[in-house]
Amino acid sequence: MSLIKSISGIRGTIGGKTGENLTPLDTVKFAAAYGTWLKNSLDKENLKVVVGRDARISGKMIQELTMNTLTGLGIDVIDLGLSTTPTVEIAVPLEKADGGIILTASHNPKEWNALKLLNSKGEFLDGEEGAKILSIAEAEDFNFTEVDELGEIIFKENYMDVHINEVLKLNLVEVDKIKKAGFKVVVDGVNSTGGIVIPALLKKLGVEVVELYCEPNGHFPHNPEPLKEHLQDISDLVVKEKADMGLVVDPDVDRLAIIDENGQMFGEEYTLVACADYVLSKTPGDTVSNLSSSRALSDVTKKHNGKYLASAVGEVNVVKLMKDSNAIIGGEGNGGIIYPESHYGRDSLVGVALFLSLLAERKQKVSELRKEYPAYFMSKNKIQLTPDLDVDGILKAVEQRHRDEQVSTVDGVKIDFPENWVHLRKSNTEPIIRIYTEAKSQQEADDLARKMIAEIKSIIA
């Protein structure tokens, strides 16, 4: 069992001892720290926070604790109930709220939950803001309000419908073309809120929907991370139903994976590539993803005469670079689409609408579309080190050895070779170096990873 405190929030397993797991006391302490930070940083009265949750079994308990803690600080709460991460993100500015809390552990198993924290723009907090909240929580420096000044909880249902309508209003979402295409789509909602909102969006787009694991009961039928090894059921059902594609989201609906008509993975990395291809074809501009994402996005961006930029890993870093460069689309290679025309957050609803618009316009099968993009293969490994080793020194030595190549040290060390790349990142919590590689075949990617592991071992020796 575990409790992980970070600048982006608090994440842990339900039950167990206080301070070691996400217990009710830990939930209250962290919610109080966030509310206290808001009160300290915003010189105003009548603060308001939006709160929503995915369908995890522990979600209702954690949400009640969170909301009542905020009201105890004199903060009003907009309760969205069952929701999604991007829904809460768009609700914060729409409700003119001062912040937001999403109760979800994203792709982690059902025993996990988390409080993810947003600012008044509906965007994740940056490192400095998160550090202040951790400091307040550590000091337990709270000042709760008197009885006559308690906040109130206002329940607003159907906000996912508001979210759907916001997506349908986007200029590049071709509602009529999608309706005319007559798509049939299988949806795996991993028994969370994606099972509500994705079918509802598709039906508004005139799509025939086959639902799989769309009951929002929090009992995940498979590992909720939308990776190939967890998605055999939907792959089989797409073929059985003769569907045009399958769509898979994680429990909080910020990651989108696509299955083609043959039951094969389109590739999580290529969700962003395809959506960017469509957006760039209509509105030329620049793109951003993190350093561990596929080179295919860079290739597609260059095809449209745009500039590709890479950020450090982490959504907040991608968003910052997108803003700094005025990028028109970006995201992460885990199927996360960030489209500023909508909002600065990963959003599977936006991804679905843009992808279907592309497919309807080109009148292609999903497998045909996939063949149009460069074929890259990734390998993800790690090397365990002893605690006494200087990880930063090891990475610096790797950087020096490859100084004649294109090297980035924005986040660890990334070496771009002409035909492939390797990205080395250290863990913040344990003596590990994570090794990501990408090449034009799986064999090449695996070989490059083995070569880098051998190189690191030679440096240590």
- The pair phi, psi for residue 382, each rounded to 5°, is -150, 155
Q: Which of these is catalytic: 8, 58, 83, 106?
A: 106
C-alpha to C-alpha distance for 151 and 8, rounded to whole angstroms? 25
CA dihedral for 331, 175, 267, 209, sign (positive or negative): positive
The count of C-alpha atoms lying within 13 angstroms of the C-alpha of 139, restricted to the half-sphere facing its C-beta, is 13
| Phi, psi angles (nearest 5°) of residue 207 | -95, 140
Distance of CA 149 to the CA centre of its chain: 36
Rounded-to-integer distance, Cα 41 and Cα 247, Å = 41
Which phi and psi (to 5°) does residue 5 adopt?
-100, 130
What Cα–Cα distance (Å) separates residue 333 from each residue in 20, 101, 270, 309, 414? Answer: 31, 24, 7, 14, 16
Q: Mark whether 106 is an active-site residue.
A: yes
Residue in this structure with the two tokens 């999403």, named with its chain if needed? 102
- 323's CB contacts (< 8 A; 6+ apart) are 344
Angle at which helices 348-362 and 194-204 pack, to 10 degrees? 30
Q: Are 344 and 241 in contact (CB under 8 A)?
A: no
38 to 32, 44, 135: CA distances (angstroms) = 10, 10, 14
Kindly write down the DSSP assignment for every residue of 8-76, as one continuous string. TEEEEEBSSSBTTBB-HHHHHHHHHHHHHHHHHH---SS-EEEEEE-S-TTHHHHHHHHHHHHHHTT-E
CA distance 106 to 83: 12
- Which residues make beta-bridge pairs with 257? 248
Q: Which residues are catalytic?
A: 106
